[in-house]
């Protein structure tokens, strides 16, 4: 019985295998037709984008009308018509423009002013320095201005001094004055001689810098004073004090050095390559570490005639007003000098708009939303973030000043430049 059921069972298995093969074949056929139908339906949509050319994958200005590989085996990238725009222009999708943060600015006429930075120190205005050096021998009896840094005013007594020469000059004047009064009835010649003697004595006191108020007091008192005052000839601050109470001084010996600090100098060190752009009268902005955030306005007053060989710099003097006395000598300062470039206004754009391809300089000119034209330009001087445009643009042209390098990478700028080269 086992042998007789074996052939039937084999025929049943064979029939089942044939049926499965037929079903699988039909299914594969149906799937293939569905795939072909799907490809056929997608083909028209894909065919809407037309490939213009293929660009180098490394961004080189090399294109190909057919697919190819570069020297490293990388496939050239297709450039579609909707990406390339018109001939000589680059089109970038608005969504990419927003993502890249593209910013533009108009080319315009503007004065080109270059900022030249230099370091320096606050110094005393030499024209406002005064030295107290008596013209006679004497002794200091009393010291009124007795500290360095003390502020004094014009006519204020600095010290009381005793001098035999001063006492003698006072006595001579008093004698001459009494004689002139006694000779009021004498002849004219005698009175003229007496008057001349009195005036000579007064002149000697004036030559010794004795003030008029002291001379008048002498005439009212009618007797010589043992001591007289040495007064300050101007307002200022005592920078140096040699005078000490009781000391003897000789004619011409310096006792005080007084400086008027209502105006001060900034002596700045300017490098020799910048010297040709510095002129007297130029505006200067001075900043000091002692007063952060408080610039002081001044102007170039003088350019020194010699150069320091060790630093290759030239000293430039800037004059500053100092009514409150805040600017103290020897403070460090940073000076920014405004150096005009050329005469008047020139056509200029931000220097960030410039793309240097090596053989030429190019900017991206906005022709519309997302449409940019690479345009070669010729530039001139640069100053404070701007560059002069001598050829290639006119006032009012809109150029890309931010993300222009990203547009170069995203929108096949170099390929467009390659077309531009071929069409030239």
CA 375, CA 316: separation in Å to the nearest integer? Answer: 42
pLDDT, residue 342, reads 67
Work out how many domains the chain is built from and give that number.
4
Contacts of 64 by beta carbon, 8 Å cutoff, 6+ apart: 53, 54, 76
Contacts of 295 (CB under 8 A, 6+ apart): 285, 286, 287
DSSP letter string, 187-214: -HHHHHHHHHHHHHHHHHHHHTT--HHH
From 342, 367, 401, the end of a domain falls on 342
252 and 141 inside one domain: yes
Per-residue pLDDT reduced to its tens digit, 215-253? 888 888 888 899 999 999 999 999 999 999 999 999 999
Which parts of the chain have pLDDT scores under 50?
1-7, 9-47, 411-414, 416-419, 421-424
Nearest alpha carbon to residue 144 among 70, 219, 255: 255
Sequence-distant (6+) residues with CB within 8 A of 29 are none
Q: Domain boundary residue among 294, 327, 342?
A: 342
What is the phi/psi pair of residue 49, to 5°? -90, 115
Based on the domain organization, do 288 and 300 belong to the same domain?
Answer: yes
- Does 391 reside within a domain? yes
Q: Which of 342, 374, 401 is the last residue of a domain?
A: 342
Which spans in 85-232 are helix H?
94-100, 164-182, 188-207, 212-221
What pLDDT is attached to residue 62? Answer: 67
CATH of the domain at 300: 2.40.30.170
> Could you report the per-residue pLDDT of 65-87, keeping only the tens digit for each?
888 888 888 888 776 665 555 55
Q: Is the residue at 13 inside a domain?
A: yes
| Judgement on whether residues 8 and 98 belong to the same structural domain of the protein | no
Judgement on whether residues 331 and 358 belong to the same structural domain of the protein: no
The answer on 277 and 353 residing in a single domain is: no
**Residue 391 to residue 249: CA distance in whole angstroms:** 75
Can you give the pLDDT at residue 158? 95
According to DSSP, the residues that pair with 313 across neighbouring strands are 271, 308
Are both 167 and 251 inside the same structural domain?
Answer: yes
> Would 271 be classed as within a structural domain?
yes
Tell whether 251 and 139 lie within a shared domain: yes
285 and 210 assigned to the same domain: no
- Residue 48 falls inside a structural domain: no
**Element containing residue 253 per DSSP (H, E):** none
pLDDT of residue 95: 75
Cα–Cα distance measured from residue 305 to residue 361, given in angstroms and rounded to the nearest whole number:
40
Q: Are residues 309 and 202 in the same domain?
A: no
- 153 shares a domain with 269: no
Does some domain include residue 58?
no
pTM, to two decimals: 0.60
| 357-366 CB contacts, 8 Å cutoff, 24+ apart | 357/414, 357/417, 362/417, 363/392, 363/393, 363/399, 363/400, 363/404, 364/90, 364/399, 364/400, 364/404, 364/407, 364/413, 365/393, 365/397, 365/398, 365/399, 365/400, 366/104, 366/398, 366/399, 366/400
Give bridge partners of residue 105 from the DSSP assignment. 399
H or E element in which residue 265 lies: strand 263-271
Within a domain: residue 216? Answer: yes
Q: Determine the structural domain holding residue 232 and report its residue range.
A: 131-256
């Amino acid at each position: 019985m086992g042998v007789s059921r074996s052939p039937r069972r084999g025929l049943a298995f064979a029939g089942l295998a044939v049926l499965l093969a037929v079903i699988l074949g039909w299914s594969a056929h149906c799937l293939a037709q569905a795939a072909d139908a799907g490809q056929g339906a997608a083909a028209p949509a894909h065919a809407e984008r037309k490939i213009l050319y293929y660009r180098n994958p490394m961004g080189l200005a090399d294109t190909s009308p057919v697919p190819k590989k570069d020297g490293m085996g990388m496939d050239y990238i297709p450039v579609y018509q909707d990406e390339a725009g018109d001939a000589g222009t680059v089109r970038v999708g608005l969504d990419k423009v927003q993502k890249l943060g593209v910013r533009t600015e108009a080319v315009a006429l503007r004065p080109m002013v270059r900022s030249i930075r230099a370091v320096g120190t606050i110094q005393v205005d030499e024209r406002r320095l005064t030295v107290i050096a008596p013209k006679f021998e004497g002794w200091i009896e009393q010291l009124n201005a007795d500290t360095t840094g003390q502020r004094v005013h014009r006519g204020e007594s600095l010290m009381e001094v005793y001098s035999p020469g001063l006492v003698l000059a006072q006595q001579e004047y008093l004698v001459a004055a009494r004689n002139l009064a006694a000779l009021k009835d004498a002849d004219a010649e005698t009175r003229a001689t007496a008057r001349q003697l009195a005036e000579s004595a007064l002149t000697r006191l004036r030559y010794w810098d004795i003030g008029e108020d002291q001379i008048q007091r002498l005439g009212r008192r009618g007797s010589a004073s043992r001591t007289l005052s040495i007064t300050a000839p101007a307002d200022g601050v005592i920078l140096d004090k040699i005078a000490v109470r009781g000391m003897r001084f000789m004619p011409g010996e310096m006792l005080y050095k007084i400086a008027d600090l209502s105006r001060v100098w900034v002596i700045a060190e300017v490098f020799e390559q910048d010297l040709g752009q510095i002129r007297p009268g130029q505006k200067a902005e001075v900043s000091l570490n002692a007063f952060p955030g408080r610039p002081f306005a001044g102007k170039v007053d003088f350019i020194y005639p010699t150069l320091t060989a060790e630093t290759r710099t030239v000293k430039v003097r800037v004059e500053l007003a100092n009514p409150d006395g805040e600017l103290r000598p020897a403070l460090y300062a940073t000076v920014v000098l405004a150096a005009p470039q050329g005469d008047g206004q020139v056509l200029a754009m931000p220097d960030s708009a410039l793309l240097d391809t090596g053989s030429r300089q190019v900017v991206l000119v906005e022709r519309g939303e997302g449409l940019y034209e690479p345009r070669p330009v010729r530039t001139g001087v640069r100053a404070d973030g701007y560059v002069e445009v001598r050829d290639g643009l006119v006032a009012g042209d809109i150029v890309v000043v931010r993300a222009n390098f990203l547009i170069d990478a995203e929108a096949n700028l170099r390929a467009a430049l390659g077309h531009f080269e071929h069409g030239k």
